[in-house]
């Protein structure tokens, strides 16, 4: 029994980081204080800064300014292994500025809106008496894939965008109506039957019904110049123009306003909600992205439906990168420190090990995914076992403890593994959340420390909001998000909450966690980021193997 539960997946990563003959269990070491020169990436930074110094005419990157002359690298600067992959990269490669795959992940979200077609078709048919058939829809989609990247369809003497700069833009449709799907030109269809396992496809089609939706991904370069709030406006303009062309409408007739209204408001699904004025962000910015939507964007659930732990871990990776590194780390705070919080959750197979341990333990005890009763006794059992297991690993492997050198990192990983385990085994995301908070309290009590100041607030009062009925604090986890009360300021939590949301549904075998439209839209094979394997894609980005969209080099002189 103990053998099954102690896979120690992280040992391989630690061996790669510290060397194969290294004693991972020793509590003592020699600190050689080799400085930044020990890291290939820091050396590259120094060389590049030197090269640019004359050109800039002002001083630049110099790690010897750190702490009045004590530079980074007084301890060993170790690389990171992207969990469950073979990619090993420097820590610097996981800062989103240095990682184009991470940037593209966020770009793929904010450049997406989902717009219903049925309302527009009703306007065309009932108000204007036009005929809408599969043929007219295919014609419309051909025009739309010309127009959406930034091309004119009904005006004269218009400027247009260079196709080489906007090639990532595309619009495909999806529907729960198999008969209509059969009639759509395959190049314009997100084929639910082909992309999802049969049982998931049936669930999705039942949820979507006979409605028809457009997954619209505007050019990456547009949202990089503007922001996520632009997406629905850009798309609505091009949709309206396309209707005029495809259905031979008058450009100024009142019905066009109905089509625009549908595209901008009545039939549009933004990827995230607008935030309150004090946060000053429009829709399709990360602060309004619910954990359920985040869970649905990640596509591991359709390629590895048999492994709910892998599903959850990929959602955690996507969520921690977006919420911690980009949202809290940059939009809300600034600086470079937040990367360290996030990487703990998707590197070196640590969260993987703790989570698989928990699920193994739960499977033996309760007999299957989502088979355990969703009650406090079960949560207490699972979260306690996982937390104590994780603590024991940190204590047994001082290099592991050193790897997660901050309490916030350890707290997030221990609590996420506990929450994921509870959610998978009960099929209930609130049970997962309860397990998260119990883990936090256990961790604090065992070691007399937890994370930074913020953990004190959120995690010690957290148990009271798990099952609360109060409207502003009692949402199902899937509907909570980055701006939920108490979650709005705290790194190391939001991505994990998204993972726990997905864990419950992956455990149950659900096709989606919160919204079937989001799940299908992000199955679009033409998206630039690979949403089926988040960690692999981050690894490619770190290894400089990932080609992002939104490039400007086509219209600039070569470097």
Partner 1 sequence: MAYTPQYYPGNTSVGANRRKHMSGNLEKLRDIPEADVVAIMGHRAPGADYPSTHPPLKEMGEPDCPIRQLVEPTPGAAAGDRVRYSQFTDSMYFAPSIPYWRSYWAAINCRGADPGTLSGRQIIEARERDIEAYTKKLMDSEMTDVSRCSMRGCTVHGHSLRLEENGMMFDMLARTEMGADGNVYYVKNQVGIPLDKKINVGKPMSEEELKKRTTIFRYDNISFGGKVGARKFDEALEALHHMWELRTKWGFRPE
Instruction: Output Rg (C-alpha) for the chain, integer angstroms.
Output: 25
Dist CA 124 CA 199 (whole Å): 35
Give me the catalytic one of 80, 188, 323, 341. Answer: 341
Dist CA 1 CA 6 (whole Å): 9
Our CB check for partner 1 shows the closer of 97 and 446 to be 446
Dist CA 18 CA 401 (whole Å): 13
Q: Assess whether 490 carries a catalytic annotation.
A: yes
Question: Minimum CB separation from partner 1 for residue 63, in Å?
Answer: 13
- Alpha helices (H) in 116-229, listed in sequence order: 118-122, 134-147, 178-183, 192-195, 198-208, 220-225
Name the β-bridge partners of 216.
113, 171
Question: Minimum CB separation from partner 1 for residue 393, in Å?
Answer: 9
Question: Minimum CB separation from partner 1 for residue 21, in Å?
Answer: 16
Give me the catalytic one of 454, 474, 486, 509. Answer: 454
Give me the catalytic one of 27, 57, 129, 155. Answer: 155
CA angle at 228 for the pair 227 and 230, rounded to the nearest 5°: 75
**3-class state of residue 88 by DSSP:** strand
Our CB check for partner 1 shows the closer of 177 and 360 to be 360
**Closest Cα partner for 234 from 224, 247, 249?**
224
Q: What are the φ/ψ torsions at residue 337 (nearest 5 degrees)?
A: -70, -25
Q: Assess whether 454 carries a catalytic annotation.
A: yes
Question: Minimum CB separation from partner 1 for residue 387, in Å?
Answer: 8
Q: Assess whether 99 carries a catalytic annotation.
A: no
Our CB check for partner 1 shows the closer of 331 and 452 to be 452
Tokens of 165: 């700069």
Our CB check for partner 1 shows the closer of 59 and 469 to be 469
Our CB check for partner 1 shows the closer of 366 and 452 to be 452
Q: Assess whether 341 carries a catalytic annotation.
A: yes
Place of tokens 């790194």: 491
Dist CA 45 CA 53 (whole Å): 12
Q: Is 32 exposed, middle or buried (0-12, 13-18, 19+ CB in 10 A)?
A: exposed
- The site for partner 1 (CB under 8 A) is made up of 1-2, 5-6, 26-31, 67-68, 70, 74-75, 376, 380, 384-385, 388-389, 391-392, 395-396, 398-399, 401-402, 404-408, 410-411, 434, 437-438, 441-442, 444-453, 456, 461, 463-470, 474
Question: Minimum CB separation from partner 1 for residue 476, in Å?
Answer: 14
Give me the catalytic one of 238, 348, 475, 490. Answer: 490
Question: Minimum CB separation from partner 1 for residue 308, in Å?
Answer: 22
Our CB check for partner 1 shows the closer of 185 and 473 to be 473
Give catalytic residues, as residue numbers.
155, 341, 454, 490
């Amino acid at each position: 029994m103990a053998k099954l539960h102690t896979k120690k997946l992280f040992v391989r990563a630690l061996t790669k980081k510290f060397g194969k003959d290294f004693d991972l269990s020793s509590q003592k070491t020699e600190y050689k204080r080799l400085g930044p020169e020990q890291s290939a990436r820091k050396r590259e930074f120094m060389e590049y800064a030197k090269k640019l110094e004359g050109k800039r005419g002002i001083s630049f990157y110099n790690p010897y300014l750190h702490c009045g002359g004590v530079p980074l690298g007084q301890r060993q600067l170790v690389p990171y292994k992207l969990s469950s992959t073979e990619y090993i990269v420097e820590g610097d490669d996981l800062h989103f500025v240095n990682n184009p795959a991470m940037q593209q992940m966020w770009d793929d979200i904010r450049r997406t809106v989902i717009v219903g077609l049925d309302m527009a078709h009703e306007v065309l048919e009932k108000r204007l008496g036009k005929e809408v058939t599969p043929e007219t829809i295919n014609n419309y989609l051909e025009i739309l894939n010309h127009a959406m990247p930034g091309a004119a369809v009904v005006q004269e003497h218009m400027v247009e965008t260079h196709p080489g700069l906007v090639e990532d833009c595309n619009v495909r449709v999806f529907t729960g109506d198999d008969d209509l799907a059969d009639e759509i030109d395959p190049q314009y269809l997100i084929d639910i039957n082909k992309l999802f396992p049969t049982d998931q496809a049936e669930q999705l089609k039942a949820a979507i019904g006979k409605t028809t939706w457009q997954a619209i991904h505007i050019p990456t370069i547009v949202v990089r110049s503007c922001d996520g709030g632009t997406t629905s406006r850009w798309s609505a303009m091009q949709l309206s123009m396309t209707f005029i062309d495809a259905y031979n409408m008058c450009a100024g007739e009142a019905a066009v306003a109905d089509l625009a209204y549908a595209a901008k408001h009545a039939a549009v699904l933004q990827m995230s909600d607008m935030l309150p004025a004090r946060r000053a962000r429009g829709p399709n910015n990360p602060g309004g992205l619910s954990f359920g939507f985040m869970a649905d964007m990640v596509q591991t659930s359709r390629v590895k439906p048999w492994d709910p732990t892998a599903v959850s871990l990929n959602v955690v990776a996507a969520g921690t990168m977006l919420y911690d590194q980009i949202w809290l780390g940059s939009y809300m705070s600034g600086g470079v420190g937040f990367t360290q919080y996030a990487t703990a959750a998707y590197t070196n197979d640590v969260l993987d090990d703790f989570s698989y341990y928990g699920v193994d333990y739960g499977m033996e005890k309760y007999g299957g995914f989502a088979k355990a009763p969703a009650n406090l006794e079960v949560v207490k059992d699972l979260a306690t076992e996982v937390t104590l297991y994780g603590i024991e690993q940190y204590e047994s492997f001082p290099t592991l403890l050193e790897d997660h050198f901050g309490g916030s990192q350890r707290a997030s990983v221990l609590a996420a593994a506990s929450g994921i385990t509870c959610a998978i085994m009960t099929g209930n995301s609130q049970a997962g959340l309860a397990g998260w908070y119990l883990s936090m309290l256990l961790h604090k009590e065992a070691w007399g420390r937890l994370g930074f100041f913020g953990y004190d607030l959120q995690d010690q009062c957290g148990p009271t909001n798990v099952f609360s009925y109060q409207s502003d604090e009692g949402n199902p986890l899937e509907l909570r998000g980055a701006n939920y009360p108490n979650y709005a300021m705290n790194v190391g939590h939001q991505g994990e909450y998204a993972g726990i949301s997905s864990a419950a549904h992956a455990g149950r075998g659900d096709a989606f966690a919160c919204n079937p439209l989001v799940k299908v839209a992000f199955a679009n094979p033409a998206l630039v980021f690979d949403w089926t394997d988040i960690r692999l894609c981050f690894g490619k980005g770190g290894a400089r193997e990932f080609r992002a969209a939104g490039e400007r080099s086509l219209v600039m002189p070569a470097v």
